[in-house]
Structure 1
Amino acid sequence: MEFLGKGWSFPPTFNKSRGGVRISEGVEDIKESLQILLSTRVGERVMLPSFGCNMDDLVFENVDISLKTYLADLVETAIIEYEPRIELDAVVINTADQYEGVVLIEVQFTVRATNSRFNFVYPFYQKEGADQ
């Protein structure tokens, strides 16, 4: 699976027993890269200013068909541009828990090198976390 890449785990964690940073490889590395891509604001990275999505701009928007379509397009565009290891099959916006302040973004993809299908679910929170 080395051909799929490897890198620091996200979030970065350290091995106390062996020392050093935990490394993620293969599909795990791809899923962590998707997590980073979807949680980064456009312009946040100095050397790659168009990297990311501006999903936090949508926090207070009403969840309707227009927002779902825009959100899916935003995610699709970012993945097609910045994750060449996968073929994007679908982006599904799940609004079943929208009244709890959560919209789930399911990314269905195929790893180009192995032709294996996977999915990744990114929770987009519309409300701040609080004890209930």
Structure 2
Amino acid sequence: MNLTFLGRGWSFPPTFNLAINGVEMREQEDDIASSLEILLTTMPGERVMLPDFGCNMEELIFENLDTTTKTLLADKIESAILYYEPRIDLEKVTLNTDRELEGVVLIEIIYRVRATNSRFNFVFPFYKQEGTDINLTTTLNVLPDSN
């Protein structure tokens, strides 16, 4: 099946590969997952041409993790995805606070790619403290949903 209509874009951060004599690219579902990561890590105002782009979760970083904060965080994520990721339908946003005392909230996003009707699970770690020894490539998971 030809899935090129799902999109293709530069990897982020941009990585230049001499073997292919160009920039490494992300395609299809991988490009969507990368776009979600960029959306959740961008603060509004960072992009000159899209000043409203982003999620602005950082303003909640020092708030108590009560029901109000959890609801506001989930709403920020849902709104950002609704406005800036038209390739997917958001099904559910869940905050996993099992590691709250370590300063970590895992944001679990279940979405469906509109064009293919495929479901995916995206887990994004939101850290309440600066992480200096954190390897995001082993922390981020994008898995096809088993349901």
Q: CA deviation at 1:18?
A: 2.0
Q: Please tell me the root mean square deviation across aligned C-alpha atoms, in Å.
A: 1.1
Query: Which residue identity does 1:23 align to in structure 2?
Result: M
Q: CA deviation at 1:64?
A: 1.0
Question: How far apart are the structure 1 equivalents of 2:68 and 2:58?
Answer: 16
Q: What is the DSSP-based 3-state SS (H/G/I as helix, E as strand, rest coil) of the residue aligned with 2:17?
A: coil
Of residues 52, 68, 92, the one that matches 1:90 is 92
Q: Which residue of 2 aligns with 1:79?
A: 81
Q: CA deviation at 1:130?
A: 5.0
Q: Which residue of 1 aligns with 2:12?
A: 10
Q: Which residue of 1 aligns with 2:109?
A: 107
Are residues 1:63 and 2:69 paired? no
Q: Which residue of 2 aligns with 1:28?
A: 30
Unaligned runs of 5+ in 2: 134-147
The TM-score, its normalising length taken from structure 1, stands at 0.95
The TM-score, its normalising length taken from structure 2, stands at 0.86
Question: How far apart are the structure 2 equivalents of 1:128 and 1:45?
Answer: 23
Q: CA deviation at 1:92?
A: 0.5
Q: How many residues align?
A: 131
Q: With a CA cutoff of 8 Å and minimum separation of 6, indicate the structure with the bigger relative contact order.
A: 1
Query: Which residue identity does 1:93 align to in structure 2?
Result: L
Question: How far apart are the structure 2 equivalents of 1:57 and 1:10?
Answer: 23
Unaligned runs of 5+ in 1: none
Q: CA deviation at 1:8?
A: 0.2
Question: How far apart are the structure 1 equivalents of 2:95 and 2:72?
Answer: 10
Q: What is the DSSP-based 3-state SS (H/G/I as helix, E as strand, rest coil) of the residue aligned with 1:117?
A: strand
% identity of equivalent residues:
62
Are residues 1:48 and 2:50 paired? yes
* Displacement over 6 Å in runs of 4+: none
